[in-house]
Amino acid sequence: MTKRVDIDAIRRWRRRGFYSENALVKLLQKNGFNAVRIPVSNPSLSPLPDVIARKENHIYAFEVKNAGYYAYFPKQQIEKLFRFLDELIPLDKQFKHAVVAAHLGKKWVFKEISWKDWENGKLPEKVRILKRDKGNFKIEQFSELENSETN
């Protein structure tokens, strides 16, 4: 009986992640990004993000977490974002962005991680995002910029 409860809990946890990844893709598309979810069903060492997006010349690799009040992103997951961008995207670093995204209820908080931290081996052991945090990356800013340029 205990084993069944554990399996159900894991399924619910995975569905939350799947839901948040799809919600992020829709949010990105609504704001003019081309975006897709990468369907990797288990944690792996492959350098694949949860979501990849493109806007003009820029590529974004997102690691997504669904949580209530705070989300933790382990160093290994952040390193995978940089490995993906570094090894598989043939662009200058100024066009490649590693972003952690916390889906906290109805609120999204995004934090772009610095290339310099990764290159200098200074990534933190984990990045924490709290519901009250503002983040340093706003998806909506791109839509506002486009609207102001066209008007």
Residues spanned by the domain of 7: 2-150
- Could you say which of 20, 41, 46, 143 is catalytic? 41
Tell me if 127 sits within 8 A of 90, measured CB to CB. no
How many domains does the chain contain in total?
1
How does pLDDT run along the chain (151 residues), one tens digit per residue? 445 556 655 455 455 567 899 999 999 999 999 999 998 755 667 889 999 999 999 999 999 999 989 999 999 999 999 999 999 999 999 999 999 999 998 899 999 999 999 999 999 999 999 999 998 888 876 544 344 333 4
Question: What CATH number corresponds to the domain at position 91?
Answer: 3.40.1350.10
- Known catalytic residue at 41: yes
The CA-to-CA distance between both ends of the chain, in Å, stands at 62
Instruction: Say what the pTM is.
Output: 0.82
SS3 at position 41: coil
